[in-house]
Structure formats: structure tokens, C-alpha cells
Amino acid sequence: MTDPVLRVSGLAKTFRIGFLRKKVEAVRGIDFEVRDGETFGLLGPNGAGKTTTIKMVLRLIFPMAGTIELFGDRHGRAETMKQVGYLPENPYVYQYLKPLEFLDLCGRLAGMDAASRKKRGREMVERVGLGHAVDRPIGKFSKGMMQRIGLAQALLHDPALLILDEPMSGLDPIGRKEVRDLILEHRERGKTILFTSHILSDVELLCDRVGILQRGKMTHYGPLGELLRPETRRVEIVLTQVSDALRDELEDLVADVRAVEGEVVVHVEGADGGQPVIERAVQAGAQIVSVTPARETLEDLFVRDALANARPDSA
Ligand SMILES: Nc1ncnc2c1ncn2[C@@H]1O[C@H](COP(=O)(O)OP(=O)(O)OP(=O)(O)O)[C@@H](O)[C@H]1O
Ligand SMILES: [Mg+2]
């Protein structure tokens, strides 16, 4: 197996804030790897330490402890950093530059020659859907447009490792799909991607493996399929022609019974819990519209994890 593109060991960062220099333990000793060619999702609720981790990987802030190895380099040499493209959480750009001027500047900083800056700049502006806005200064862009120019900048020099901090934020559903497609395209070309996100459905569609951060610690790490509980956990049964008597009876049998537009929707916990409900409904003359087993989703895992970790700061 080839060496990982990124190897993080024992990484920790504490900030001191305010007059009293109160300690905020943003990242508390985490280990993870991002392998060559994979798409890795770094997930977690607000304040979990995702952006802090990414900024340490990019050497924008310095760790208190731990090591970061990028392409086998522990020192963040310029040549190594040139292989990385980065979309910050809040892209801050030069307000008065137009898209192509901005990308030209980014290309210069990445060491690209004039011809490829021009060619790639035009390509990327079209690719992120900003072709109509080439004459507008970036300062006049909407949040979604800002996100797109940030992505164009991150992809400009075709980096081997693309690091995206909340790439879907501020985008409408069409914008999100376009960004997803851009990420998939980059991945299909064999590139490695590390991204953070709150939008779990996007994560499920994109990631090979994930790490979940909670309050600065990594609580889950691995392929998504292995993290989600494989056993069926819930059954949804939709019924019509339900008498009041049957509804009362179902409410006694299971807790979650709801009337929705003439139908009754029953959620039963556990894989086998649906059987008695179905039998009773049929006996009582109700019609069964659907029976759907639901597996654990990433969202369920998140909630399960957040509940298990809901401890005071000193934990
Ligand atoms: N420069 C800083 N000074 C002081 N505290 C900071 C600083 N940067 C981050 N923190 C704190 O560190 C913790 C982790 O923040 P971080 O931005 O890494 O979280 P995040 O997982 O990226 O959250 P979000 O999903 O909201 O982007 C938070 O408690 C935050 O307040
Ligand atoms: Mg963040």
C-alpha cells in the first residue's frame, strides 16, 4: 500500500481567550490518515475543531502537540504546500478584482506560468458557473458566488490534495449539486480530497471514509459503512382506513403514531417490532400502504454520538 497523503498524529491545539486567558481546548490529541485518491470527510458539530485541524494541516496555525506529515514531509516545505488546494471556510478575497484577475493572482502565488494561468483561469471560471460574472468585481458577489470563486481558486493549479472547509455552505440545492459534481470529477481524476461539512447527505454521497470530531476528540473514524449500525433499527408502517379504536390500540402498542393527510404513520423501534402492528391492523380492517425498514443514517449516528458526548467542558 502507498503512503498516505496526510498523516496526523497526536495533534492538539489550545487557544487562550479573553482577559482571563481562559483555555479553549479546540483539538485534543487526534490521529487520522487521508489515503492517496480517497475522499475523506471531517465531520462534527459547530465548534468541534474541524477548521482548527485544517488550519494546522495547512500550517496557518501551529499545533501545541503532535505531528503532521503531508506527502511524507513533516516540515511543510513550499514544494509540498504547492500540491495542496484550499478553500477556506470564509473565503476572503480582494474586493476590487474581477474573477480572472483574482485567479491570475492566485496562479502567480502558486507558481504557475502566464499561459497556464490564463488558460486555467478561464476554464475554472466557466467550470464553477461564473462565466456570466467575469466583469463584476468580487466584492459585489453573493455568498454562493463567493464560494464558487473560492473553489475555482482552490482547483486552479490542479492540486493533488484538495482541502475544502464547508464547501457546500451558502449554496442553494443546485449549487450544492454542482459543487458535489466538481468534487466527484476531481476525485475521478485520482486526486485526494479532505473536506468538512455539516450537510450529511452530501457526505454520504461523497466520502470513502470519515472522521467525526466531538469537542476536539475523534469519536469515530473509518469507512461510513462500518460506522453506521448495519442492523435494521426502525420500521415505518403507513396505514389507511384506520378506525379510532384501532388507532387507540396502536398508540398503546407503540409510542409513535401520527395522522398525516388521511393516513396513519407508525414508527416502530427494532427490526421485528413491525410484525404485531401489521397483524393487528389487518385484523381490524385497515389497509397497509407501505412498510419501510430504515437503517441508521449518518444523521442518526451524529445524534447518538452527540448525546453520548454531551458532558460539561471539563470532561
Ligand atoms: N483563534 C481562536 N481563538 C480562540 N478560540 C478559537 C479560535 N479558533 C477557534 N477557537 C475555538 O476552538 C473551538 C473549535 O473551533 P473550530 O472553528 O475549529 O470549530 P469547527 O468544528 O470548525 O466549527 P464550525 O462547524 O462552526 O465551523 C471552538 O470552541 C472555537 O471557539
Ligand atoms: Mg469550521
Lowest mean pLDDT across 13-22, 156-165, 294-303: 294-303
Q: Which residue has the higher pLDDT, 256 or 9?
A: 9
What pLDDT is stored for residue 143 in this prediction?
A: 83
Is residue 236 scored above 90 in pLDDT?
Answer: no
Q: Which position has the grid cell 477548521?
A: 51
Q: Is residue 309 part of a domain?
A: no
Domain that holds residue 268: 234-294
| DSSP element (H, E) containing 176 | helix 173-188
Q: How far is Cα 44 from Cα 23, in angstroms, rounded to an integer?
A: 21
Counting ligands in written order, which one lies closest to the CA of residue 28? Answer: 1
**CATH number of the structural domain spanning residue 256:** 3.30.70.980
3-class secondary-structure state, position 162: strand
17 lines ligand 1 (CB under 6 A): yes
pLDDT of residue 314 exceeding 60, the answer is no
Mark whether 219 and 249 lie in a shared domain.
no
Ligand nearest to the CA of 215: 1
Q: Locate the ligand 1 atom nearest the alpha carbon of residue 16 and give its number.
A: 4
d(CA 225, CA 36): 20
Highest-pLDDT range among 58-72, 194-208, 240-254: 58-72
29 Cβ below 6 A of ligand 1? no
Looking from the CA of 59 toward its CB, the CA atoms found within 13 Å total: 14
3-state secondary structure 83-116: CEEEECCCCCCCCCCCHHHHHHHHHHHCCCCHHH
**DSSP structural state of residue 295:** P
Whose alpha carbon is nearest atom 25 of ligand 1? 46
**Whether residue 237 has pLDDT greater than 50:** yes
Which DSSP symbol is given to 73? Answer: B
Q: In 3D, which of 51, 80, 63, 78 has the Cα closest to residue 9?
A: 63
Percent above pLDDT 70 for the chain: 96
Distance separating alpha carbons of residues 235 and 224, to the nearest angstrom: 22
* Average confidence (pLDDT) over 209-235: 84
Q: Whose CA is nearest to atom 16 of ligand 1?
A: 49
Q: What integer pLDDT is reported at residue 124 of this predicted model? A: 94
- Residue 260, pLDDT score: 84
232 band by pLDDT with thresholds 50, 70 and 90: low
What is the Cα–Cα distance from 21 to 118, expressed in whole angstroms?
A: 48
Query: Per residue in 178-202, pLDDT tens?
Result: 888 889 999 999 999 999 987 777 8
Residue nearest to atom 2 of ligand 1 (CA): 15
Within a domain: 238: yes
Q: What integer pLDDT is reported at residue 288 of this predicted model?
A: 92
Higher pLDDT, 11 or 181: 11
Whether residues 175 and 287 fall in one domain: no
Q: Is residue 81 part of a domain?
A: yes
CA angle in degrees (0–180, nearest 5) for 80-82-88: 110
Of the ranges 2-6, 143-147, 204-208, 238-242, the best mean pLDDT one = 238-242
| Distance in Å, CA 193 to ligand 2 centroid | 17
pLDDT of 23-59, one tens digit each? 999 999 999 999 999 999 999 888 999 999 999 999 9
Q: Say how many Å lie between the CA of residue 191 and the centre of ligand 2.
A: 23
Domain-located, residue 259: yes
pLDDT of residue 315: 39
44 touches ligand 1 (CB under 6 Å): yes
Inside any domain, residue 306: no
CA 166–ligand 2 middle distance (angstroms): 7
Ligand 1 neighbour 76 (Cβ under 6 A): no
Which CATH number belongs to the domain containing residue 90 in this structure? 3.40.50.300
Q: Whose CA is nearest to atom 28 of ligand 1?
A: 47
Residue 276 sits at the vertex; the CA angle it makes with 272 and 277, to the nearest 5 degrees, is 100
Distance (angstroms) between ligand 2 centre and the Cα of 280 equals: 50
Residue 199's pLDDT is what?
75
Residue 21 Cβ contacting ligand 1 at under 6 Å: no
Set of cell numbers at residue 296: 441508521
Q: What angle do CA 145, 116, 84 make, to 5 degrees?
A: 65
52 CA: nearest ligand 1 atom: 18
pLDDT of residue 178: 84
Burial class (CB in 10 A: 0-12, 13-18, 19+), 235: buried
Mention every residue, 6+ apart, whose C-beta is less than 8 A from residue 221. Answer: 32, 209, 210, 211, 212
The answer on pLDDT for 131 being more than 50 is yes
Cell match 505531528: residue?
67
Residue 66 pLDDT > 70: yes
Query: Does 49 sit in the ligand 1 pocket, CB within 6 Å?
Result: yes
Atom of ligand 1 nearest to the CA of 53: 18
Q: Are residues 266 and 216 in the same domain?
A: no
Does residue 296 surpass a pLDDT of 80?
A: no
Our count of domains for the chain comes to 2
Instruction: Answer whether residue 291 shows pLDDT above 70.
Output: yes
pLDDT tier at 95, thresholds 50, 70, 90 = confident
Atom index in ligand 1 nearest the CA of residue 27 equals 14
Which of 1, 6, 2, 3 shows the shortest CA–CA distance to 162?
6
| Nearest ligand (C-alpha, residue 55) | 1
Residues 273 and 210 occupy one common structural domain: no
